[in-house]
């Protein structure tokens, strides 16, 4: 897939909120932090569980199951028990809409 997908209005999320969207059959967690949007796959690389319902601390999401931490901005793993990064997706704002696309 190479087309950008409109997913949500730019002003629909408050800072610190997220929403899970479908991007070409993949669940993607879209976060708003300090007015910027970031998108990562909604999966903990430790055990495959969803990650979006975890606690957001600064720019890190904490897995609700086992406590692994990931950087929302880059998808990089920050603490065990996970050792693999989460896939990141491109995000842009176009005409007031947040758009995401598959890599």
Residue with tokens 């904490």: 62
* Dist CA 65 CA 28 (whole Å): 18
SS3 state of residue 41: strand
pLDDT of residue 2: 61
Name residues whose C-beta falls within 8 Å of residue 35's C-beta, 6 or more positions apart in sequence. Answer: 15
Asked if residue 70 lies in contact with residue 59, where contact means CB atoms within 8 angstroms, the answer is: no
Domain ranges of the chain: 5-100
CATH architecture for the domain at 5-100: 3-layer Sandwich (2.102)
The structure's pTM equals 0.93
pLDDT tens by residue, 64-78: 999 999 999 999 999
* Dist CA 84 CA 94 (whole Å): 31
Helix (H) or strand (E) holding 89: strand 88-89
pLDDT tens by residue, 7-39: 999 999 999 999 999 988 999 999 999 999 999
């Amino acid at each position: 897939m190479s087309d950008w997908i409109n997913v949500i209005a730019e002003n629909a999320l408050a800072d610190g909120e997220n929403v899970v969207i479908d991007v070409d059959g993949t669940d993607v967690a879209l976060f708003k932090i300090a007015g910027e949007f970031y998108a990562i796959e909604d999966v903990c690389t430790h055990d495959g569980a969803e990650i979006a319902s975890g606690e957001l601390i600064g720019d890190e999401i904490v897995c609700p199951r086992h406590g692994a931490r990931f950087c929302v901005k880059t998808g990089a793993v920050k603490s065990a028990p996970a050792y693999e990064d989460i896939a990141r997706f491109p995000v842009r704002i176009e005409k007031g809409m947040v758009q995401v696309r598959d890599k």
